[in-house]
Amino acid sequence: MIIALALMSRVLWPKELIGEQTTVLPQNTMIRSKRKVVCMLICACLHYVGCLIIHILSQFIGGLH
């Protein structure tokens, strides 16, 4: 999952503008929206990991009794 997130983030997080610099405004909007998608992917993965940790801890604590 980490590898997939890293690959998607690498593609979606551009370092420079695309093509000619005549249409800067739409490209800035596109870059900003791609970065929002990357942030959402990171938040979803963190949420998944948090739930997984809680599940593992509850299994561990339940197994002690």
Quick one: average pLDDT of 36-47?
Answer: 87
pTM score: 0.63
Distance CA 37, CA 19 (A): 21
Give residue-wise pLDDT tens across range 16-36.
Answer: 655 555 555 677 787 788 888
Output 42 or 8, whichever has higher pLDDT. Answer: 42
pLDDT at 5 over 90: no
DSSP, res 48: H
pLDDT at 57 over 80: yes
Match 């997939």 to its residue by tokens: 4
Tokens representing 1 are 């999952």
Distance CA 53, CA 19 (A): 44
DSSP, res 16: S
Please name the amino acid found at residue 24: V
Residue 25: the pLDDT is 65
DSSP, res 1: -
